[in-house]
Amino acid sequence: MKKRYIPLLLSCIGLIIIGVFFYYQNRIIAQENKRLQSIINYQESIVDYLDKKKQAALGLAKRVKYAQHSFDTYQCNLRKVSLKLYWKNRQNKYLKSLKNLWQHLKVQQQTLIFATNAGMFKANHHPVGLYIDNQQQISPLNLGQKRGNFFLKPNGVFMVTSNNEARIVESSQYPQNAQSVSYATQSGPLLLLNGEIHPKFGKNSPNRNIRSGAGIINKHEVVFAISNEEVTFYEFASFFKSLGCQNALYLDGHISQMYLPALKRYDDGGNFGVMIGVTVKQ
């Protein structure tokens, strides 16, 4: 073979090797995507099955139109589902994303019905304010004065007690309401307090964003909502008021996500601190 053909031959061999490499890489990726989709389909089928068999226990998921905006909502009864806060896995590593939370619970053979991020956190994933996990205080109450949504007073605490009661209280009132608290997260600002919209929210505010929050229907009924379009704080608070809430708390803004299979919503990302998860009661 003439030497001048050797570089061409080597180039051809190289292209063949690269082609084979990408072929098998694409096959691996396709197989992994197929596997992940089968997991999602399985999870969806489980939730659909449970929805038919235990509709009342699972809670109510709705996409609601209000004031020209759309909100995804999930309302549940804490006597019929298990609502907990999650931050780290069993290896003491931060969960961070809704997908990791889903996988964490799947290993424990628990079916995740609903999940969302649970309030403000620092760059190191630690809560800005109060965090109670399974009756243990992980982070203390923060009554400081700084800039930002968290510190727009009045802010508040969302809590779940050992007898499955839910409350949202103004932060300074938490110590008087801290008996038998199993889970609690502090965030801000409060959207509603005793049926009144936060006094600093303006009807004509230009401050619009994706927003998520939690509201109390009664001592056992909680409703979570996330806007599908950018809304003002006033609009978001008004929406919770229209749902019948007396007290409601802002959780977070544009980074917020929601896992809600009943609405075919499978947000799985995030780089969060504490998260809220609802599972089928064991």
Q: What does the CA dihedral 109, 115, 119, 123 come to, rounded to 10 degrees?
A: 70
Give mean pLDDT in consecutive 10-residue pieces for the chain, a chain of 282 residues. 61 70 63 56 52 67 95 96 95 95 94 93 92 96 92 96 96 93 97 97 93 97 98 98 97 95 93 95 73
Return the pLDDT at 21. Answer: 64
Return the pLDDT at 128. Answer: 94
Return the pLDDT at 201. Answer: 95
Return the pLDDT at 212. Answer: 97
Is the separation of the CB atoms in 75 and 84 below 8 Å? no
Of 241, 17, 254, give the one whose Cα is nearest residue 117: 254
DSSP codes joined into one string, 89-153:
-TTS-B--SHHHHHHHHHHTT--EEEEEE-S-B-TTS-BSS-EEETTEEEE-------SSGGGSS
Return the pLDDT at 179. Answer: 87
Distances (CA, A) of 147 to 151, 165, 227: 6, 32, 24
Whether the full predicted model's pTM is greater than 0.95, yes or no, is no
Query: Which residues lie across from 94 on neighbouring strands?
Result: 88
Both tokens assigned to 271: 């780089």
Is the separation of the CB atoms in 102 and 268 below 8 Å? yes
